[in-house]
Amino acid sequence: MATDVYVSATLRMFTGREPVIQADGTSVCEILRSVAAGHDDIKRILFAEEGNLRDFVRIFVNNTEIRGLQGLDTPVKPGDTVYLIPAVAGGAPKKNTSVIPAERSSEVSFSDKDLERYAGHFLLKETGVKGQKRIRAARVLIAGLGPIGVETASILASAGVGTIGLWDHRKTELPDIKNLIAFTERDLKRPRTAVVKDRIRNICRETEVSVFDYEITSDNAEETVSGYDLVVDCTDSFKSRYLINDACFFAAVPCVFASLYHTEGRLTVFKNDRSTQSPCLRCLFPAPPERNLVPTCSQTGIFSGVPSIIGGYAACEVLKLITGSGSTLEGKLLSIDPLNLTTHVFNVDRNCSCALCGESPSVRSVQAVDYYDFCNLREPDDTPPVESITVEELVRRIENHEPLTLVDVREPHERAVHRFKQAVAIPIGQLVRRKKELNPDVDTIFLCKEGKRSILAINTLREASYTGPMYNLKGGLDAAKDLVFSDEAGWL
């Protein structure tokens, strides 16, 4: 009897975009072999060269991670569901206690205006007067002002959180207008922190807002998070994710982890209380994926409406931790896919071998970790350099009718925006098995959105012994949009 295998959105590009596929086998190992046999491109994603399951992939049978069972030998019975959950990003409910010191919340008083404004919370037994005082006394830092971070900040300001920190070094760009509900065209080129600060002030002038307009680094992470009761990690890079996780652990600050990819969101809570058995991000995903293996949302897009759902869940987790009400996602991973109407809650246990919070930790400070190396952001010293070609040079060669092959390595849904009609569409996961479609006697130029995945494509073909001349379009199609696509009729 075939078993349902749920495929996370981050892996569906390798399974024909299907969220659930069928596989045969009586153990997890047999199921994965069946998946790999039916989908050639996913094998190298799931398994390293030596055949071991990659560290950034987690396998669950029903809602339990196989590390807590029998690993790859875990039996799979009829009716079970196997879940493939890579990084992007039950059990009995634990009693939740407030993270806000009682002496601080006891000093809060409310005006007549506050009594009217927060009447809905005062009437709830989950909050009441005591809970609303804790909300007013709370200090929450939001790291990353993308779609989730902006939504979370807006909800927390509406709820009356007393102090909100905003941490992001980026400026507003045109694509932000689609995804960030607080942004308008008048905000273009303004710092994201300034835009969100204005929005919070318009929602609740009593909320104090602190702004951190600098990049998250190992030099500033721990100092920045230590002034807060809670951190909400809404960043969009693995380097920032692990940096914030480690900094929060050493500062003993709880962290709400919220992530998004395409149509799927993930949430969990890392309590970072050393006296408990609460897991951390490194317990869940000991290592990130290889560089550029999993595209970011900025490279592939997100479905409008989903950030509001995930941001709402994240804000709810924050408010539960502040008020001490309800059951939080500590020790659980919530996966939500609104487009396919699926919601799953997985148990996540602390890993005794974790490099950060395990019994013999190797990570003893944020400064001791080279996060660029850990997140595979540096090219190895022995990696041959990838030659690039500028947009201007590409245009010249096309206009001169020089022989060349253009290969667009983006996913099918991405090619709706800025595409060369001359380009051969080969998603990066299919390159190795389709390399015979390329002519090694002419130059091949690889295209992607930002010029990053195309470099990975070239290195992937090098490893597969392809010997033809290969070039990366410098800056990707983003760099070509003004010069090439201003007259799209001639190119699309």
**pLDDT, tens digit only, all 492 positions of the chain:** 688 888 877 777 677 667 788 888 888 888 888 888 777 667 777 777 666 777 778 888 887 888 778 888 898 888 888 888 876 533 334 567 888 989 898 889 888 888 899 898 988 888 899 999 999 999 999 999 988 999 999 999 999 999 999 999 988 877 667 666 777 778 888 899 999 999 999 999 999 999 999 999 999 999 999 989 999 999 988 889 999 999 999 999 999 999 987 788 999 999 988 767 789 999 988 888 765 555 554 445 677 788 889 999 999 999 999 999 988 999 999 999 888 888 889 888 888 889 999 888 899 898 878 887 777 666 555 557 888 989 899 989 988 989 999 999 887 767 777 777 788 999 887 888 899 999 999 999 999 888 888 888 898 898 888 999 999 998 888 887 766 654 443 343
Helices (H), 204-341: 221-225, 238-251, 281-284, 297-300, 306-323
Q: Quick check: helix, strand or coil at residue 155? A: helix
What are the chain's domains?
3-86 (3.10.20.30), 138-374 (3.40.50.720), 388-490 (3.40.250.10)
Task: Check residue 481 and report its DSSP letter.
Answer: T
Task: Give Cβ neighbours of residue 18 (< 8 Å, ≥ 6 apart).
Answer: 7, 12
State CA 136 to chain mean position distance: 29
Contact 60, 90 (CB under 8 A): no
CB atoms within 10 A of CB 227: 13
User: Three-state SS across 62-107?
Assistant: CCEEHHHCCHHHCECCCCCEEEEEECCCCCCCCCCCCCCCHHHHCC
Tell me which residue has tokens 């990366």: 472
Q: String of b and e for 386-419 (b: at least 16 CB within 10 Å)? A: bebbebeebeeebeeeeebbbbbbbbeebbeebb
Backbone angles phi, psi at 180, to 5 degrees: -105, 110
The structure tokens listed for 464 are 């597969």
Tell me the C-alpha to C-alpha distance, in Å, between residue 272 and each of 67, 89, 245, 251, 345: 21, 17, 9, 8, 20
